[in-house]
Chains A and B, each alone.
Chain A
Amino acid sequence: MTALAYVGPIPKMDREPITACAHCGQPAAGRRFCCGGCESAFETIQGLGFGAYYARRLLDPDTRAPRPESAERWDLVRFVQTDADGSHALVLAVDGLQCGACVWLIESVLGREKAVVSGRVNMTSRRLKLVWSGEMAEADRLIAMIERLGYRLIPFDAAALAGRHDRTERALVRAMAVAGFAAINVMVLSIGVWAGQASGWLDGMGPATRDLLHWVSALIALPAIAYAGMPFFASAFAALRRFQSNMDVPISVGVILVTTMSLVEALNHGDHTYFDSAVTLLFFLLIGRVMDHRARGQARATAEQLLTLRAADVTLLLPDGGTVRRAQGAVQPNDRVLVGMGERIGVDGIVERGSSAIDSGLISGESVPVVVGPGGQVFAGTLNLGAPLTIRATAAGGGTLLAECVRLIEAAESRRSRFVVLADRVARRYAPTVHLAALLTFLGWYFVGDAPMAQALMIASAVLIITCPCALALAVPAVQVIATSALLRGGILLKSPTALERLALVDTVVFDKTGTLTEPSLGLVRDTIDPEALRVAATLAANSRHPLARALVAVAGAVIPADDVVEEPGRGLRSGNIRLGSARFCGVAAADPDAPEFWLTRPDHAPVRFGFAETPRSDAAATIARLRTLGLDVRLISGDRAGAVESMAQACGIQDWTAGCTPVEKVAAIDALTASGRHVLMVGDGLNDGPSLAAASVSASPSTAADVSQTVADIVFQRNRLGPVVEIIVMARRARAVMRQNLMLSIGYNILMVPLAVAGWVTPWLAAAAMSSSSLLVISNSFRARTKSE
Chain B
Amino acid sequence: MTVILYLLGASLVLGGGGLAVFLWALRTGQFEDLDGASNRILYDENDR
Contacts and interface: CB of A to CB of B under 8 A. Distances in A.
A737 interface: no
Contacts of B33: 122-125
Interface in A202-248: 206, 209, 212, 216, 220
A220 B12 contact: yes
Contacts of A79: none
A174 B31 CA distance: 12
B31 A123 contact: no
A52 B47 contact: yes
B37 to A, nearest CB: 8
A488 interface: no
A11 B29 CA distance: 51
Contact of A49 (B4, B18, B35, B48): B48
Contacts of A59: 42
Q: Is the interface of A mostly helix, strand, loop or mixed?
A: helix
B43 A184 contact: no
Nearest to B25: A177
Contacts of A103: 36, 39-40
B40 A181 contact: no
A212 B36 CA distance: 46
A103 B11 CA distance: 41
Interface string B23-47: 1001000011111100110110001
A181 B16 contact: yes
Contacts of B12: 185, 216, 220
A100 B31 CA distance: 17
A50 interface: yes
A178 B8 CA distance: 18
A123 B36 contact: yes
Contacts of B36: 100, 103, 121-124
A122 B32 contact: yes
B43 A177 contact: no
A295 to B, nearest CB: 13
Nearest to A48: B48
A188 interface: yes
Given A52-B48, A104-B43, A185-B12, A124 B19 contact: no
Interface in A395-450: none
B11 A185 contact: yes
Interface string B4-25: 1000100110011011001100
A56 interface: yes
Interface residues of B, number: 24
A181 B47 contact: no
Tell me if B's interface is mostly helix, strand, loop or mixed. helix
Nearest to A122: B33
Given A103-B36, A103-B40, A174 B26 contact: yes
Interface residues of A, number: 29
A188 B11 contact: yes
A100 B8 contact: no
Contacts of B1: 206, 209
Nearest to A188: B11
B38 to A, nearest CB: 8
A170 B29 CA distance: 10
Nearest to B32: A122
Interface string A172-191: 01100110010011001000
A48 to B, nearest CB: 9
A99 B36 CA distance: 9
B3 to A, nearest CB: 11
A177 B23 CA distance: 8
Given A124-B32, A125-B33, A184 B26 contact: no
Contacts of A125: 32-33
A100 B43 contact: yes
B33 to A, nearest CB: 4
A103 B47 CA distance: 14
Contacts of B42: 56, 59, 100
B4 A100 contact: no
Contacts of A178: 19
Contacts of B18: 181
B11 A100 contact: no
Most buried by B among A56, A125, A185: A185
B29 to A, nearest CB: 9
B11 A174 contact: no
A104 B35 CA distance: 13
B20 to A, nearest CB: 10
A209 B4 contact: yes
A49 B48 CA distance: 7
A173 B31 contact: yes
Contacts of A49: 48
Contacts of B40: 100, 103-104
A185 B22 contact: no
B6 to A, nearest CB: 13
Given A124-B34, A188-B11, A56 B48 contact: no
B18 to A, nearest CB: 7
18 contacts: A50-B48, A100-B36, A100-B39, A100-B40, A100-B43, A103-B40, A104-B40, A122-B32, A123-B36, A124-B32, A124-B35, A124-B36, A177-B26, A181-B18, A185-B12, A188-B11, A209-B1, A212-B4
Q: Which 6 A-B pairs have the closest CB atoms?
A: A100-B39, A123-B36, A181-B19, A122-B33, A123-B35, A124-B35
Given A173-B26, A181-B15, A184-B15, 12 more contacts: A56-B42, A56-B43, A100-B43, A121-B36, A124-B35, A124-B36, A125-B33, A177-B23, A178-B19, A206-B1, A212-B4, A216-B8
